[in-house]
Structure 1
C-alpha cells in the first residue's frame, strides 16, 4: 500500500515536471507593441485638428493683427498646435499589447 502511494506520487510529480517544461520555455520576454484603433483614424484626427487649428488661428491672428501677416502667422501657429493636440488625443485611445 505504501509503495503504491509513493509510486503514484512520483508519477504525478514527474508528469507535472514534463508539463511544466514547455510552459517555462514559452516564458521568454515579450515585446511591447502600441495598438491603436487604426493608424488612419489617428491620421484623420490629426488632419482635422490641423484644419480646425488653422482656421481658428487665422481668425485670432486677424483679430489681433488686423492684417494679412497676422492672419498667416496665426493660421500657421494654429495649424501646428491643432495637429499636435489632435494627434495626442487620438493616441490616448491606444493601448499596449505584449506579444
Structure 2
C-alpha cells in the first residue's frame, strides 16, 4: 500500500515537470529590438512632401511676387522644404520597439 502511494506521488511529480517544461521555456526574458519600416515608405512620403511643398511655395511666391519669377522661386524653396520635412517625419514615425 505504501509503495503504491509513493509510486503515484513520483508519477504525479514527473508529470508536472514534463508539463512545466514548455512553460519555463516561454518565460525567458525577451529582447527589446528597434524595428523600422522599409526605405520605400520614407521615399514615398518624401516625394509627397516635395509635391505639396512645391504647390504651397508656388502659391505663396505668386502672392508675394505677383509674377512668374516669384512663383518659380517659391515653388523651388517650397519643394526643398517640403521634401526635407516629410523625410524627417517619415523616418521618425516608422520606428518602434518590438520584443523578440
**Where on the TM-score scale, by shorter chain, does this alignment land: which range?**
0.5 to 0.7
Look up the match of 1:49: 49
Q: Count matched residues.
A: 96
Matched, 1:13 2:29: no
Q: Which residue of 1 aligns with 2:32?
A: 31
Shift of the alpha carbon at 1:46? 0.7
- TM-score, normalised relative to structure 1: 0.58
Show structure 2 runs of 5+ residues with no match.
none
Q: 1:77 to 1:52 in 2, by over 3 A?
A: closer
Higher Rg of the two aligned structures: 2
Gaps of 5+ in 1: none
TM-score by length of 2: 0.58
CA-based RMSD: 3.6
1:4 to 7, 10, 15: 7
